[in-house]
Amino acid sequence: MSPHSLTRGSARSAAEVNEQIRALWMRAGGTLSAQERAEYELLVVEWAAAIRSAVIEAA
């Protein structure tokens, strides 16, 4: 996952990003390498942005 993809905002839903987070943990077997940890952190930021966007749209 490119860090630049987050600068454009999340085009994916929180559910889609959450699924990718779950898949990452499954692939990693519960222990993340440094590279996987960096990917995880980017995904969490994207997930949080998607959640905020959904809340704003709902309001």
Q: Is residue 47 part of a domain?
A: yes
CB 20 within 8 A of CB 42: no
Q: Is residue 16 part of a domain?
A: yes
- Per residue in 3-41, pLDDT (tens digit) is 444 444 558 999 999 999 999 999 999 999 999 999 999
Instruction: State how many domains the chain has.
Output: 1
Q: Is residue 5 part of a domain?
A: no
Q: Is residue 35 part of a domain?
A: yes
Q: How would residue 59 be classed by pLDDT, with cut points 50, 70 and 90?
A: confident
pLDDT over 80 (residue 2): no
Q: Is residue 2 part of a domain?
A: no
Q: Is residue 51 part of a domain?
A: yes
Concatenate the DSSP letters of all residues of 16-57 into one string. Answer: HHHHHHHHHHHHHTT---HHHHHHHHHHHHHHHHHHHHHHHH
Q: Residue 9: its pLDDT value, please? A: 53
Q: Is residue 21 part of a domain?
A: yes
Which range of residues forms the domain containing residue 17?
11-58
Q: Is residue 1 part of a domain?
A: no
Q: What is the CA radius of gyration of the chain?
A: 12
Q: How many CB atoms lie within 10 A of CB 57?
A: 7
CA distance 52 to 22: 20
pTM of the entire predicted model: 0.76
